[in-house]
Structure 1
Amino acid sequence: MAYIIGSILVIIALIITGLIMRKRVYDVVDRLEAWKMDIMNRNIASELSRIKDLNLSGETQEKFESWKTRWENIVTKELPDIEEYLFDAEEAADRYRFPSAKKTLHHAEQTLQSIEQKIEEILEELDQLMASEESSREKIERIQPGLKALRKTLSQNRHQYGKAESRFDAELDELEGELQRYHELVASGDYSEARELVEELKLKLDNLTAEMEEFPSIYRKCKYDLPDELDELFKGMREMKEDGYRIEHLGFEKEVHHYQRQLDGCMNALEKGDTSQANAIIPEIEERIAEMYQLLEKEALAKNYVETKITPYQDALNAMVNKFDVTKEEVETLKQSYYFEDSDMEKYLSLDKSINQLHKQLDETRNAVEHNNTAAYSDLRKEIENGLKDLETLEEKHEEFKERIRNLRKDEIDAKENLKDMKNQLYQVTRRLNKSNIPGVPSFIWNKMDEAVNKNNRVLDALEKQPLDMGEVQDALSEARTTIDYVSEQTETILDQAYLTEQVIQYANRYRSQYPELAVKLAEAERLFRSYEYELALENAAKAVEEVEPGALKHIEEFQKAAN
């Protein structure tokens, strides 16, 4: 029983599955049928009828027949085949031959996609043809007035084109011939070739328009403007030479003739309608003419500068020579009394040499101005400008050298004053030692004082030498100053130590009887004090009193400062 029920259920499941799969086949059949009907209902014939607005001949007629044939083949053969495919698929589904049905439907769908692609290609080719015809027609509508305008321009302005008029006439005739060829191609229905011709025609017209627009300006520059400018430039150079300007070195005359010959060659090319040579040479000539005028103006300004500045330059240099002559006399006098360092003599000789060189250069410049007609004023101007700068530098160096000379005398006076001060300082140190109540002066102080006296004498000897060597004087002064400062400093230190030692011993005497050990140390300090060992005496005394009364030394020092 269970097997029977199971078998029944399996059969039911198979039937349901078969029905579902058959339903799916029917759905695909319905979708493809609708797609087929949509294609059949499209008004392709109406779209193709748009071509009747064109000339149905030649290439257009061939394309129209091709599109019509392809569409009729779709309607009469390919779409009925689709119907057969769909019928076969339904029949296979009814018999539960689903793989076969699926294969048939796939083939039908591919066929419909192919049909869609063919239709799209037909309509795209149609649109391209219609757009090409429209675009060509619009361009021709603009080209025709352009050709007429160029023809009118050439007719009304023939003098601006010279002999090149015939070449432009010929090109316009050629373009008009191509325009007529376009109309013939349109009349014969060859719109693709007509479109290509229009593109070429437009490009040629644009180029010819640009060339005819720029030609009068180029022609005028080469025939009139630039030759006139070159003639004017040549005339101006001749007048400058007559007025004494020196411009031969610039070589402009040869250059002007060269450009005149180049312009003649440009005119020969322009008469044939060729502007390439002129376009290349015109900017060069215009730029060079501007440069020539700038250089001529520079030469004119240089002449005025030279004529204006050469006399003041001569006067300034003469004044410098006179000043330096005074310095020379002063140097010769001072050399008898003073010794000049090598560096100072080098500066002096360098000044003398530089002044002589400037004088020589100025003589050459003046000679070139007055007698040498080939020297350019721009070069002479540079020489004067450089000379004025050099003269200014020499004046500064001369003042520095004069200051150095003045310092020689000032240094001598200062050295004598310093020597006097040091002698007085040494006298005061000796006087203070003699007036002090200390038992005696350490021998090293007297030795240093003797050394200081000897060094002062060395300074005096250096000052009395002829010629005076201030370098030697300064060295001797420095050594003497160092020694005397040392003596003063050490004297001050010894006197302070001696006085403080006395104060400490006096202060410590109050404890002498109470502390025998202190009394012994104080006795030793007194012995050292009498032996001129003031530093050791102070050290022993201070140590002794600090042991009895810590802080006593600081108290004594403060008292001593207050007393002083």
Structure 2
Amino acid sequence: MWIIIAVIVIIAILIGLGWVVLTQRQAAAQAVDFSLAKKALMDEDIATDLAAARKVALAGQALQNFQETEKIYRDLRNHRFAAIDAEINRAMQLSAGLNVWKTRKSLQSLLDQMTEAVSLQKQVVSGLESIQQENKMQRQAIDQLHGDFDDITERLTAMNNPYGPSAPALLAFLSDEEDEYQRYHELIEAGDRVKAAQKFEEVGMIAGQVLDYMQNLPILFTAFNEKYLDQINELHTSWLDLTDRGVVFAEGVLEDALSEVDDLRLQGLQAIEGLKVKEANTISTTLNQKIQDLYDLMEEEYQAYHRYFKQQERVNTEFDRVKEQNHSLLLELTYLKGRFILGHEEEDRQSSYHHDIEELVLSQQEVQRALKEGSQTYSWAVTRQENWLSILSQLDSDQVALYHQIEEFQPALQSAKEHTTAYIDQIRGVKRSLERRDLPGLPEDFLQKFFTVSDEITRLDEAVYAGEVDLDDVQRQLNIVAADFDTLKEQAHTVIVAADLAVSLLQYANRYREQNEEVAKALKVGQKLYQVDFDYDGVIQEMKPVLQEVEPGAFERLQKNQDPVLL
């Protein structure tokens, strides 16, 4: 058994060794392939193409592209390829051993480096092609500019040239460019390619500036000489027209602003004359914004002019309403003052509202005078109007609230009179109800309460029928009467119930008078409490125990059989 296992293990080891040897041989072959691929990359004629591009008269963007491309190629030749050679050697060494994992890792690293090297080499090739194309296009542009020299010169010297005051400086600049262009060709013919490249760069820069001037200066000249001039004239005409219509502008604002924008326009023309395109563009941006601000200002004042008159109608309507409200309040308070005591500063409030209305009148007169004199604008007047409307709205709300408050005086007084009459009738009813009971008398505490409430009702009656009614005092007195009268009714009901029960107890106990001495004594005391002291509750307390003693349940039965009491 052990022999079979040993044979199997040996066979497995031999198979494994065979797989390792085969895999490492394949790795060695792949390393050789990478070496050949790297050699193929190095054999390309990129170095020759770079040398050719370096000899070309480069300038501008083409020069920047060349420098970037050359930097990439140097890194590729000096570092990347060297790193690839080192990794190839390492892979070859590893493939001679048995560490398959390290060998595969080295081959993967080689693959990554070769892939990146191929990508960079393609970038270099593409960059060289782009350089040639840009250089070709730049040459064509310079050659075309040279070819159009006579035509451009003719346009610059024409009477109505599109370059305006910049024409002389631009013509001189163009002549310098032509001189440099001729010098460039002389260097080419002389075979001095280094100086030719330098001169070409100078020519390219000058040509670029010339083309930039030719493209931008006519646009700027048209803007300053036509567009902005037309807008300034339009603003001036609009200003005069609006002023004739009655629109008011702040004194000196438009004159100064129009003078400032015209000065800026002239500064822009001076910048153009000196070929200062950047400065002219900055001035143009500023000028355009200031002109737009002036248009906005005129539009704002024009709209405010119309809004003022339209809004003034609303102001007048609101003003007439609050003024009429205030007059109505004055009349109503004058009438009420003869009948009521005004205890909540109603007159002071009406007077305060009247003062606010007078202040509004003065404010409107001030605005009208300022507009007539032209010392203030309609936009300012509109702001004042909006403030008036806010004040008028608050006045309307406050005066309506005050009117609602004082219009309740008469209904409140009438309601108090009705309540007073009702309380007088009710206390008389209580009195009659007690008199119908034919009681020997009433308890002292009840009588005190009765007379107190009667006096309170009398004071209430005097208050509601006074020459000048104090509604606050009437309301306080009414509240007192309402609370005390309820208590009085409860006490009257209690007295009558107790008196009826006392009578029943005395009458019922009288049947046991001869039979029970305790009942006789209690009956004697109870009769005194009833007839002399008018203490009906005392009668009940006296008779209840003895009656319960002689006849249990009699008290509860008598209490249950009492007739309901209605006042």
Using structure 2 for the length normalisation, give the TM-score.
0.64
Is contact 2:326–2:350 with CA below 8 Å preserved after alignment?
no
CA RMSD of aligned residues (A): 6.0
Give the aligned partner of residue 174 of structure 2.
169
Q: Deviations over 1:95-152 (max 9, x none)?
A: xxxxxxxxxxxxxxxxxxxxxxxxxxxx999999877654421321343345567779
1:138 lines up with 2:133 in the alignment: yes
Cα distance in 1, alignment partners of residues 280 and 517 from structure 2: 125
Tell me which residue corresponds to 1:338: 340
Determine which of 238, 260, 271 is the counterpart of 1:258.
260
Match of 1:232 among 234, 237, 240: 234
Give the 5 Å matches for 1:95-494: 133-147=128-142, 159-162=161-164, 163=166, 165-166=170-171, 169=174, 213-249=215-251, 251-308=253-310, 310=312, 313-314=315-316, 317=319, 320-321=322-323, 324-369=326-371, 371-436=372-437, 440-494=441-495
Between the aligned partners of 2:494 and 2:345, the Cα distance in structure 1 is: 44
Change in CA separation of 1:524 and 1:280 when aligned onto 2, cut-off 3 Å:
farther
Q: Which amino acid is the alignment partner of residue 135 of structure 2?
A: I
Residues 335-344 or 323-332, more deviating = 323-332
CA distance in 2, matches of 1:205, 1:546: 141
Question: CA 1:242/1:431 → structure 2, altered by over 3 Å: closer, same or farther?
Answer: same
Distance 1:289 1:534, change over 3 A: farther
Q: Which amino acid aligns with 1:232?
A: E
The CA deviation at 1:237 is 0.7
More displaced, 221-230 or 322-331? 322-331
Contact 2:301 2:378 in 1 (8 A): yes
The sequence identity of aligned pairs, in percent, is 17
What is the deviation of 1:274? 1.3
By how many angstroms is 1:208 displaced?
7.4
Change over 3 Å in CA distance of 1:134–1:354 after alignment to 2: closer
The unaligned stretches of length 5 or more in structure 2 are: 1-26, 57-69, 78-117
Equivalent pairs counted in the alignment come to: 487
Q: SS in structure 2 opposite 1:468?
A: coil
Does structure 1 conserve the Cα–Cα contact (< 8 Å) formed by 2:430 and 2:492? Answer: yes
Quote the Cα distance in structure 1 between the aligned partners of 2:272 and 2:148.
Answer: 18
CA distance 1:419–1:217, change in 2 (3 Å): same
User: Which range moves more in the overlay, 226-235 or 314-323?
Assistant: 314-323
Conserved? CA contact 1:222–1:266, under 8 Å: yes
CA distance in 2 between partners of 1:320 and 1:552 (Å):
75
Shift of 1:381: 3.2
Compared with structure 1, are the counterparts of its residues 286 and 202 closer, same or farther at alpha carbon in structure 2 (3 Å cutoff)?
same
Q: 1:403 and 1:281 mapped to 2: Cα distance?
A: 66
Do the aligned residues in 2 keep the contact of 1:448 with 1:487 (CA within 8 Å)? Answer: yes
Which of 4, 19, 43 lines up with 1:47 in the alignment?
43
Which range moves more in the overlay, 485-494 or 441-450?
485-494
Q: Residues 205 and 373 (structure 1 numbering): CA distance in 2 closer, same or farther, change over 3 Å?
A: same
- When residues 189 and 134 of structure 1 are mapped into structure 2, their CA distance, relative to the original with a 3 A threshold, is farther
Q: Quote the Cα distance in structure 2 between the aligned partners of 1:205 and 1:353.
A: 80
- Give the 3 Å change call, closer, same or farther, for CA 247–59 of structure 1 in structure 2: closer
* 2:174 counterpart letter in structure 1: D
CA contact (8 A) 1:57 1:189 kept: no
Secondary structure of the corresponding residue to residue 413 of structure 1: helix
Contact between 2:456 and 2:481, CA under 8 Å: does it hold in 1? yes
Deviation at 1:332, TM superposition (A): 3.2
Q: Distance in 2 between matches of 1:305 and 1:244?
A: 13
Q: Distance in 2 between matches of 1:366 and 1:42?
A: 94
- Work out the CA distance in 1 between the residues paired with 2:256 and 2:187: 55
Is the 8 Å Cα contact of residues 51 and 130 (structure 1) preserved in structure 2? no
* C-alpha displacement of 1:261: 0.9
SS at match of 2:247: coil
Cα-to-partner distance string for 1:141-188 (whole Å, 9 max, x where unaligned): 343345567779996786444425437736865996899799899x88
Please give the secondary structure, in 2, of the residue aligned with 1:422.
helix
TM-score, scaled relative to structure 1: 0.65
Bigger Cα displacement from structure 2, 278-287 vs 249-258: 278-287
Shift of 1:550: 8.3
CA contact (8 A) 2:500 2:562 kept: no
Given that 1:497 and 1:535 are in contact with CA atoms closer than 8 Å, whether structure 2 keeps it comes out as: yes
Give the SS at the match of 2:375: coil
Give the C-alpha shift of residue 269 in structure 1: 1.0
Cα offsets for 1:246-273 (capped at 9, x unmatched):
2243611111111111111111111222
Residue 490 of structure 1 and its aligned partner are, at CA, apart by: 1.8
Which amino acid in 1 is paired with 2:43?
E
Tell me what 1:86 maps to.
Answer: none
Do the aligned partners of residues 268 and 444 (structure 1) sit closer, same or farther apart at CA in structure 2, a change above 3 Å counting?
same
Give the alignment of 1:32-71 within 5 angstroms.
47=43
The 3 A distance-change label for structure 1 pair 231 and 35 is closer
Moved more, 277-286 or 548-557: 548-557
Q: State the distance in 2 between where 1:242 and 1:314 align.
A: 26
AA partner of residue 345 (structure 1): E
- Structure whose alpha-carbon radius of gyration is higher: 1
* Distance (Å, rounded) in 2 between the aligned partners of 1:57 and 1:298: 63
Q: Report the Cα offset of residue 469 of structure 1.
A: 2.3
In the TM superposition, residue 561 of structure 1 has moved relative to its aligned partner by 7.5
Q: Distance in 2 between matches of 1:219 and 1:299?
A: 32
- Return 5+ residue gaps in structure 1 as ranges: 1-30, 71-122
8 Å contact from structure 1 (residues 524, 540) kept in 2: no
Distance 1:324 1:198, change over 3 A: same
Cα 1:552–1:171 change in 2 (3 A) is farther
Where 2:407 maps in the other structure, the secondary structure is helix
Contact 2:187 2:193 in 1 (8 A): no
- Report the Cα distance in structure 2 between the residues aligned to 1:558 and 1:295, rounded to whole angstroms: 98
Cα distance, 1:437 vs structure 2: 5.6
Following superposition, the deviation at residue 234 of structure 1 comes to 0.8
**Could you tell me how far apart the structure 2 residues matched to 1:243 and 1:283 are?**
32
Distance 1:41 1:452 in 2: 126
- The 3-state SS of whatever aligns with 1:429 is helix
Distance 1:416 1:173, change over 3 A: farther
